[in-house]
Amino acid sequence: MELLNTLKELISISIAGLAFPGFNFHVKPGLYPIGNPSKEAPILITSNYFVTYKRVTASLKKQAIIAWLLVVDTKGVNVWCSAAGRNFTAEKVISQITKSNLSKSVSHSRLILPQLSAAGIDHMKLKQEGWDAKFGPIDINDIGEYLSNNCKKNPAISQVRFPVQKRIENTISHNVFITLILLPLVLLINILANPIGFLRPWSEWLLPNVLFLFVYIWVFGLLYGITYSRIPFRSGFLKGLLISIPFVPLCSFIFFNETTLDFILGIGTLFLYSTVISTDFDGFTPIVGMDFFEKDLILLALSSVIIVLIVIIAPLIG
């Protein structure tokens, strides 16, 4: 999951980089004053991913928090992925503290780390260097409550949540990602399946197969992302399968209704698309781990083999 998340993050950054050449997605590591902090102001730590920095500073401003913000060089990757990928470690924090001459700006040694950085940061290493590090809330929007509660946490601010706004955000990133993976693949399969490829009228295959997939990814992806928390099961594969039971036959009936064979093949193909999308979405949720994802992939692989066999055998038996 770590690698996958980092990869996805890097792909998204690269795409954004291609779309906006010259735009820098890394924030310069260093010590940033928020408001007009005194030597006693709290020290908050974050990654140097541009989006994280923007969100953290905007949230601190909104909550009227005066603090020192130490931005650590995590190679421009967000807190969770950089910690899991060992780019946000105690050594990196210590190195940034030294580079930024932190002890000159403050008169205390209390550090507040983002909770999700705990997957990479060993707080004892910071202690050995004389820093008293605590893991703050998961969401920066809860930092005000955390500070006013004497740096004490309750489950509401220390456990991951996946509210609808975040689900929509992640669904959009995921849809972009899965479109870039599935669309060229289906395009290639269509060309290979029709040796004369582009010589056939485009309308015969491009519109029904490729553009349909594009629309399907976005409609199913959004439906799945929005209803995600309400669908039973934790497994993305099982969730996708369940939501597909009414959705897929209906779609197949509307769009692939020329013959019974078309209808059956439509069902098989759409089940495959749906479960690929829902299983892969696991990696875009904050509540699924690598171990879990691998189990889900096994279910997806088994069902894909069955569906592909049906798709191959059905036309043979007419």
Structure tokens at 144: 């005000």
Residue 234 touches another protein, criterion: CB under 8 A: yes
Q: Which of 12, 63, 158, 304 binds another protein (CB under 8 A)?
A: 158
Write down the least CB distance from residue 279 to another protein, Å: 11
Choosing from 3, 16, 160, 302, the residue that interacts with another protein (CB under 8 A) is: 160
Nearer to another protein, 37 or 136 (CB): 136
**Three-state SS string across the chain, please?**
CHHHHHHHHHHHHHHHHHHCCCCCCECCCEEEEECCCCCCCCEEEEECEHHHHHHHHHHHHHCCCCEEEEEECCCCCCHHHHHHCCCCCHHHHHHHHHHCCHHHHCCCCEEEECHHHHHCCCHHHHHHCCCEEEECCCCHHHHHHHHHCCCCCCHHHHCCCCCHHHHHHHHHHHHHHHHHHHHHHHHHHHHHHCCCHHHCCHHHHHHHHHHHHHHHHHHHHHHHHHHHHHCCCCCHHHHHHHHHHHHHHHHHHHHCCCCHHHHHHHHHHHHHHHHHHHHHHHHHCCCCCHHHHHHHHHHHHHHHHHHHHHHHHHHHCC
Q: Nearest approach, Cβ of 288 to another protein (angstroms)?
A: 7
Q: Is 146 in the site for another protein (CB under 8 A)?
A: no
| Number of residues near another protein (by CB under 8 A) | 37
**C-beta of 135: minimal distance to another protein in Å?**
5
Does 10 interact with another protein (rule: CB under 8 A)? no
Whether residue 1 contacts residue 20, with contact meaning beta carbons closer than 8 Å, is answered with: no
Of positions 35, 163, 286, 315, contacts another protein by CB under 8 A: 286
Using rule CB under 8 A, residue 163 touches another protein:
no
Q: Binding to another protein by residue 123, rule CB under 8 A?
A: yes
Residues 235-254 that bind another protein (CB under 8 A): 235, 237-238
Among 292, 304, 311, 314, binds another protein (CB under 8 A): 292
Contact between 202 and another protein by CB under 8 A: the answer reads no
Which of residues 40 and 291 has its CB atom nearest to another protein in the complex?
291
Binding mask 47-86 for another protein (x = CB under 8 A): ------------------------------------xx--
Taking each helix axis from N to C end, the angle separating 290-316 and 2-19, rounded to the nearest 10 degrees, works out to 80
Q: Taking CB under 8 A as the rule, does residue 115 contact another protein?
A: yes
Binding mask 89-108 for another protein (x = CB under 8 A): --------------------
Binding footprint of another protein on the chain (CB under 8 A): 1, 83-84, 115-116, 118-124, 134-135, 138, 153, 155, 158-160, 233-235, 237-238, 286-292, 294-296, 298-299
